[in-house]
Amino acid sequence: MSTRILLTGVAGFIGMHTAKHFLENGFEVYGIDNLNDYYDVTLKRDRLSQLNHYPNFFFKETDITDREEITKIFSQFKPEFIVHLAAQAGVRYSLENPHAYINSNIYGFLNILEACRSFPVSHLVYASSSSVYGANTKIPFSEKDGVDHPVSLYAVTKRSNELMAHSYSHLYQIPTTGLRFFTVYGPWGRPDMALFLFTKAIYNDEEINVFNHGEMIRDFTYIDDIVNSIFELSFKPPTLNTNQEDAIIYPDSSSSPFKVFNIGNSSPVPLKIYISALENAIGRKAKKNYLSIQPGDVVHTHSDSSSLEKWINFRPKTDIKEGIEKFVSWFNSYYH
């Protein structure tokens, strides 16, 4: 029998790519997604069409906030591993609709944890975010840094997920691994992300909004590097450490079977360079509208990914030029 993976948020950007990688490696994937209208549902359905031809793929349209349905899925499918990517995404939208973040990211995650408790799994891997570093100024960001000063409700919910996961790892010995993603980009990306918005505007000869007057630095991480990290981490769950002398407690680990990892390129790029690479890939110059920084945004992100490399002998490495060219190629093909 093939290994059974339950993957939430399967119609999402990272979810689709991750599911495809597991399917191509012979795993049985049960994907769930609520297909909400936070952005273009057609794009989500088209992502699903990339998966539907795999005989080992099963899809259920459902919401992780539906406790009874989640319990039923766990009971019937009996997954061995969970890759939990479903969440209400977006930093700026959390200022407009905070209740959506509590419902999906807190209550929905609780349903996943409770299901893992009732139907034991080998490993729960879940999406956190680099946004948890919030007001931190120490660069690069390390998993061992304190993360007690979030600057958006989205970040609050992601940090809460890490704390919730630790409590279940401690109480019920459920192996959990949180993944702090750093600005993921690539083909099939989200329409609310900068790369998508910039590309669309340049092709339409419209202005792009450049926040903080372009003085932003991001650790852009290509989707393939994210997926490879998820895949390798899934099969190396943290273990219970009963030797208290070795069980020093940090924000990313403890004596419980619990870990948190940064997944970032460790090569932060100024936004101006990012835009320049996009202009070169498209062959057109962008019209820039310089604006002040947005509430909830941070100026600089930089991942220390040494813990990830030590744990699975892998670290993200795709450079900006290659990654953006692949995105533009997909964009041209998808939108003709």
* Catalytic residue numbers, as ranges: 154
Cβ neighbors of 112 (< 8 A, separation 6 or more) are 8, 64, 70, 82, 84, 124, 126
For residue 187, whether the previous peptide bond is cis, meaning omega lies within 30 degrees of 0, is no
3-state SS class at 303: strand
Alpha-carbon radius of gyration of the chain? 19
What value, to the nearest 5°, has the Cα angle with vertex 233 and ends 296 and 3?
Answer: 120
Q: What is the DSSP letter of 77?
A: H
CB 91 within 8 A of CB 155: yes
Ramachandran quadrant class, 76 (left: phi over 0; alpha: psi -120 to 50; beta: rest) = alpha
Say how far apart CA 254 and CA 244 lie, in whole Å: 9
**d(C-alpha 197, C-alpha 46), whole Å:** 19
Strand 269-270, strand 217-218: pairing:
antiparallel
Residue 295's CB: how many other CB atoms inside 10 A? 10
Residues 6+ apart with CB under 8 A from 212: 271, 291, 292, 293, 297, 299
Pair 326, 195: CB distance under 8 Å: no
Among the listed residues 235, 237, 228, 234, the one whose alpha carbon sits nearest the alpha carbon of residue 316: 228
- Among residues 62, 68, 52, the alpha carbon closest in space to that of 32 is found at 62
**Residues making up the chain, counted from first to last:** 336
CA 23 to chain centre: 19
